[in-house]
Amino acid sequence: MSATDWESNEELQYFREYLRIPSVHPNPNYEPCVEFLRRQAKQLKLPIQVYYPANEQNPVVVLTWKGLQPELPSVLLNSHMDVVPVFPENWIHPPFGAEIDEEGRIFARGTQDMKCVGMQYLAAIRALRKSGAQFKRTIHISFVADEEMGGRLAMRPFVDSKEFRALNVGFGLDEGIASPTSEIPVFYAERTVRDVFFKISGTAGHGSLLLPDTAGEKFSYILGKIMAFRKVQCERLANSPELSIGDVTTINLTRLVGGVQSNVVPPLLTAFFDCRLALDIEIHEFDAHLHKWADEAGGGIEVEYEQKRGHIPPTATDETNPFWVAFKGATDHLGLEIKLQVFPGGTDARYLRKAGIPALGFSPMSHTPVLLHDHDEFLHAETYLKGVQIYQKIIANVASV
């Protein structure tokens, strides 16, 4: 395709129009997205519902294509409408301009994360409807707010609502990540977030003395244990080419709070750690280690959690999950190279999995540098359009299970 073809392509025009809506944190205004999606629904002749599971600022928009057997569990195609902040001075193109350069690269916040996927779902459905296709299962296409802030104001309460239960979702698709190679990751699980902090009490006093049991000594012991654990994970990752970051446990000291002045030994130090536990770790054993280290450090230490998510079972990727079989059948048919992975961060798919709904994270962006949350986020027009074709096959397969 040439530059004029990219400019005149109907699907690229819709994608770029959606990208130009600055639904950006903090405090995104989603109303222009909702209005845009209402026009899409009208164009597609599909019913649309807008829910507000937490408050009036955070909508969940659902378009529905009813299946021939609507009593069967449905398929949910999910994407989020919000995008992360930008630093325009670091961009070579305006971050909400959706400009196409001479190579065909479309620049905008959200081209990868994840306005692309939301529009590719609709483009695929537009093509399928034009072809006269009809499927067994009902398809819901959802566009949610607040994913980038953790989904507390949209996906999380939505999944718990009676409106969501009425959708009778049996399988969900959500976001993946771009891939610089030909291999596209498919995410079937996420690590378990455990944000822990240690409130370390110790002997306070003058900085000129050698007091026993100071908070600093206790902190040093705990930090030593945690860094030793961390080093093992670093080595595993470095020495095992088959492992990705999502396959190992990460732990990082993120905040250290305490003290009043330089010559006073403080009575309290608080140390915060970001922990993301891989699937091979028993959560209760990990917690027990943290408590053991706190005891060994000399006591007077409280172990608390800022975030303490429980284990969420991964989505099955074998013949016990017919939706996986259908998904894999589509990617095999298209000759795509896929690689099963554990998502390194968090996505809204975890709320589906938590509710017992199998869900896969997938964004068809091969040969694309990973630029989510980065400056100059872009997606090539041809990659976008190829993704539309990929979704046509995937949607056809999973809606026919």
Which residues is 140 bridged to in the sheet?
Answer: 64, 76
Query: How far is 65 from 141, CA to CA, in rounded Å?
Result: 8
User: Which residue, 110 or 266, is less far from Zn ion as judged by CB?
Assistant: 110
**Side-chain half-sphere exposure of 144, counting CA atoms within 13 A:** 30
Q: Closest separation between CB of residue 112 and Zn ion, Å?
A: 8
What does the DSSP assignment read for 227-253? Answer: HHHHHHHHHHHHH-TT--GGGS-EEEE
- Find out whether 314 and 276 touch, Cβ atoms under 8 Å: no
Q: Closest separation between CB of residue 379 and Zn ion, Å?
A: 13
Instruction: Residue 222: name the closest of 303, 132, 151 by CA.
Output: 303
- Find out whether 88 and 22 touch, Cβ atoms under 8 Å: no
147 is catalytic: yes
Using a 10 angstrom Cβ sphere, with 0-12 exposed, 13-18 middle and 19 or more buried, the burial of residue 361 is: buried
User: Which residue, 11 or 174, is less far from Zn ion as judged by CB?
Assistant: 174
Candidates 11, 113, 146, 147; catalytic one? 147
* Cα angle, residue 349 at apex, residues 322 and 254 outer, rounded to 5°: 140
User: Which residue, 170 or 346, is less far from Zn ion as judged by CB?
Assistant: 346
Query: How far is 371 from 96, CA to CA, in rounded Å?
Result: 15
- Find out whether 38 and 26 touch, Cβ atoms under 8 Å: no
Q: Closest separation between CB of residue 116 and Zn ion, Å?
A: 10
Q: Closest separation between CB of residue 115 and Zn ion, Å?
A: 9
Candidates 82, 113, 146, 377; catalytic one? 82
User: Which residue number places its CB atom closest to Zn ion?
Assistant: 113
User: Which residue, 113 or 247, is less far from Zn ion as judged by CB?
Assistant: 113
- Find out whether 121 and 76 touch, Cβ atoms under 8 Å: no
102 is catalytic: no
Q: Closest separation between CB of residue 301 and Zn ion, Å?
A: 37
Instruction: Residue 79: name the closest of 135, 134, 43, 40 by CA.
Output: 40
Query: Interface with Zn ion by CB under 5 A: which residues?
Result: 113-114, 175
Q: Widest CA span of the chain, in angstroms? A: 83
User: Which residue, 80 or 105, is less far from Zn ion as judged by CB?
Assistant: 80
Q: Closest separation between CB of residue 275 and Zn ion, Å?
A: 22
User: Which residue, 113 or 146, is less far from Zn ion as judged by CB?
Assistant: 113
CA distance readout (Å), 87 to 24, 84, 108, 159, 307: 12, 10, 12, 33, 29
User: Which residue, 175 or 190, is less far from Zn ion as judged by CB?
Assistant: 175
- Find out whether 306 and 197 touch, Cβ atoms under 8 Å: yes
Q: Closest separation between CB of residue 174 and Zn ion, Å?
A: 9
List the beta strands (DSSP E) in 167-249: 169-174, 183-190, 192-201, 205-206
Task: Supply the residues annotated as catalytic.
Answer: 82, 147
